[in-house]
Homo-oligomer: A and B are copies of this chain.
């Protein structure tokens, strides 16, 4: 083991400059790769450092520790989600974008909803999360009040639960059977149609 593949520009290049250039981004990118492939538990700060060709303690300068790195990823995720939700036209479309986000950014998505891995009090994280929450509430407010007793808050919870559950099961390969070859977004549109039959 040890230095199995110090192939190309890995870490042993003696002419490597002292300063990486954008180590923070490099670490984040590598972390997203690892998490998407094998989950957050497979993440090793030292492994990321090796990938980026820096010393084992370099990541700590940018993220303090493991929780710091994951918190940064979660915050970035909530920011991306807020942006994409804000561009949606209606609630159903917001749901579709929610599912699309989970598929496009599986690593972010996983980490965002793993609070035990995060520094939950972090300012960046809480503000980003609040932004995403606002975007979701806006989408809910846009839906016209339907049948009797349709509480807006409840409708929001229903939409969120449906989208979140679908996305989660999808990422966990629990819907490979039922969904099969079909486009997941298309399937989700049908599900959302079942939930909000009256509105559109």
Listed stretches A18-26, A47-55, A57-65, A151-159; interface member:
A151-159
A79 to chain B, nearest CB (A): 17
- Does A38 count as interface, using CB distance less than 8 angstroms? yes
- Does A17 count as interface, using CB distance less than 8 angstroms? no
- Secondary structure class of chain A's binding surface, majority of residues: helix
A129 nearest CB neighbor, chain B only: B174
Complex Cα–Cα for A169 and B174 (A): 18
Q: How many residues of A contact B (CB 8 A)?
A: 39
Q: Are A158 and B39 in contact (CB under 8 A)?
A: no
- Does A142 count as interface, using CB distance less than 8 angstroms? no
Complex Cα–Cα for A188 and B87 (A): 29
Q: Are A173 and B115 in contact (CB under 8 A)?
A: yes
Q: Are B162 and A41 in contact (CB under 8 A)?
A: no
- Does A119 count as interface, using CB distance less than 8 angstroms? no
- Does A114 count as interface, using CB distance less than 8 angstroms? yes
Q: Which of A110-166 contact B (CB under 8 A)?
A: 113-117, 147, 150, 153-158, 160-166
Residues of A within 8 A of B (CB): 38-42, 113-117, 147, 150, 153-158, 160-166, 168-169, 172-175, 178-179, 187, 190-191, 194-195, 197
